[in-house]
Chain A
């Protein structure tokens, strides 16, 4: 059974870099044709797509975040990662890692999510 698990600091200071890793178990990132993605949800608000990546390196990110986002894959560790720099309070959210099936917006497996709070 495929499982995804987010890890990283739960508290990040304003203007610093948020770094999260998603560890995939039950399947290999590099031997499938799936994309892998990050989605976030501010407290009490809706879902926002951050970006997606394929093990080949093909990647997409939300235009509003593109200048601050780096998404990468480490096939040797079966992980993919998110870095978001110059964070502000507006980046406080639950961050989910996901697998993407078929069309670019079919997120069929999700991690449990990790809450990241940006403090001043």
Chain B
């Protein structure tokens, strides 16, 4: 059971805009920056969004994130087949004094 809750799956068609959620509590999402990771099949995860909405160099602006209270969401616009991957949210947890991850959302591009 992950500390951060993500839906196990999401899907969309090419060109569509999809969102996926990540919910937590005041000790993690509510009080600390949230980060999103993309894990393509068979590869190491990659930092997609950090610090509540910033994209590392090279990440397309099709990816965006928002946070409100103890919940957050990742949005992907202009969905492409290469976006098919697992997406994880992560945050520091003040109670745990460590990092917590969501269980991941598997995105399928139909």
| Partner-B contacts on A (CB < 8 A) | 37, 39, 46-49, 51-52, 60-63, 96, 101-108, 110-113
Contacts and interface: CB of A to CB of B under 8 A. Distances in A.
B50 A106 contact: yes
A49 B100 contact: yes
Interface of B: 2, 32-35, 37, 44-47, 50-51, 56, 88, 90-92, 96-104
14 contacts: A47-B90, A47-B101, A49-B99, A51-B98, A62-B96, A63-B97, A102-B50, A103-B35, A103-B51, A104-B32, A104-B98, A105-B100, A106-B35, A110-B46
Main SS at interface, chain B: strand
Contacts of A60: 97-98
Most buried by B among A60, A105, A107: A105
Contact of A106 (B51, B97, B101): B51
A111 B46 CA distance: 10
Given A103-B35, A111-B44, 9 more contacts: A46-B103, A49-B98, A62-B98, A63-B97, A63-B98, A105-B100, A106-B47, A107-B90, A112-B44
